[in-house]
C-alpha cells in the first residue's frame, strides 16, 4: 500500500500588520518544508541484541556497509 501524501496546509493569516503577516507566512512555509522533507543521514547506528553497536552506511553504488563501533 502506497503512503498517502500529506494534506495541503492552508495557513490562517490573522493579522493586518504587514510585519506580522510576513512572520505568519514564513512560519507557514517552514511548517510545509518540515512536513515534506525526508530526513537524510550519512550513517545510522544500531544496537544489536547482544549490545554491540554498529554503524551502517551506503556507498554511491548502493552497497551497504557495517562497522562495529565503540559505544
- The confidence score (pLDDT) of residue 10 equals 61
Q: Domain for residue 27, yes or no? A: no
Determine, yes or no, domain membership for 15.
no
Beta bridge partners of 69: 53
In the structure grid, which three cell numbers stand for residue 48, read together?
544489536
Number of structural domains (the chain) is 1
Q: DSSP character for 4?
A: P
pLDDT, one tens digit per residue, over 28-52 is 777 766 666 666 778 888 899 999 9
Give whole-number Cα distances, 1 to 4, 6, in Å: 9, 15
Q: Is the pLDDT of residue 70 over 60?
A: yes
**Does residue 20 contact residue 11 with C-beta atoms inside 8 Å?**
no
Cβ neighbours around 54 below 10 Å, total: 15
In a domain, 57, yes or no: yes
User: Is 58 part of a structural domain of the chain?
Assistant: yes
Amino acid at each position: 500500500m502506497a503512503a498517502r501524501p500529506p494534506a495541503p496546509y492552508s495557513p490562517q493569516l490573522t493579522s493586518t500588520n504587514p510585519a506580522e503577516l510576513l512572520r505568519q507566512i514564513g512560519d507557514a512555509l517552514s511548517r510545509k518544508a518540515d512536513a515534506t522533507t525526508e530526513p537524510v543521514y550519512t550513517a545510522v547506528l544500531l544496537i544489536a541484541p547482544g549490545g554491540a553497536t554498529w554503524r551502517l552506511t551506503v556507498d554511491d553504488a548502493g552497497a551497504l556497509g557495517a562497522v562495529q563501533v565503540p559505544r
